[in-house]
C-alpha cells in the first residue's frame, strides 16, 4: 500500500474567524493520522477566506473518514470538504 495526498477546503463560519487557529487545529488532527504538508488560504468572497490544507496519510481503510469527522468538528468552521484525493 502507498500513501494518499488529501487536499481540503475548510470554510470558516465568518470572515472574522482566526485562520491561524484553524490551521493549528488542522495540523494537530493531521499529525495523528499522517503528515501535515502545510496550508494555503484562498479568497472566496466578501473578505471570506478558505483554508486549503494538504495532508499525506497511509492508504488504509477508515483513516480518511475518521480524520474528516474530526476536521468537520473544528470550532469556528462551517464545512470541510475534500477537493483532491490522489495516490502518491
Of 1, 20, 18, the C-alpha closest to 58 is 1
Rounded CA Rg of the chain: 13
Residue 31's domain is classified under what CATH number?
Answer: 3.30.70.60
Residue 68's pLDDT is: 92
CA–CA distance, 68 with 10 (Å, rounded to integer): 11
Q: How many whole angstroms separate alpha carbon 52 and alpha carbon 26?
A: 10
* Residue 10 pLDDT: 98
pTM to 2 decimals? 0.92
Contact, 81 vs 8, CB < 8 A?
yes
> How many separate domains does the chain show?
1
Which range marks the domain in which residue 22 is found? 3-87
**pLDDT tens-digit map of 30-83:** 999 999 999 999 999 888 999 999 999 999 888 999 999 999 999 999 999 999
Amino acid at each position: 500500500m502507498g500513501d494518499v495526498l488529501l487536499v481540503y477546503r475548510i470554510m470558516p463560519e465568518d470572515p472574522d474567524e482566526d485562520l491561524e487557529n484553524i490551521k493549528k487545529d488542522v495540523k494537530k488532527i493531521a499529525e495523528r493520522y499522517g503528515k501535515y504538508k502545510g496550508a494555503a488560504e484562498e479568497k472566496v468572497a466578501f473578505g471570506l477566506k478558505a483554508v486549503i490544507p494538504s495532508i499525506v496519510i497511509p492508504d488504509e481503510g477508515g483513516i480518511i473518514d475518521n480524520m474528516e469527522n474530526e476536521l468537520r468538528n473544528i470550532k469556528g468552521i462551517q464545512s470541510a470538504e475534500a477537493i483532491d484525493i490522489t495516490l502518491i
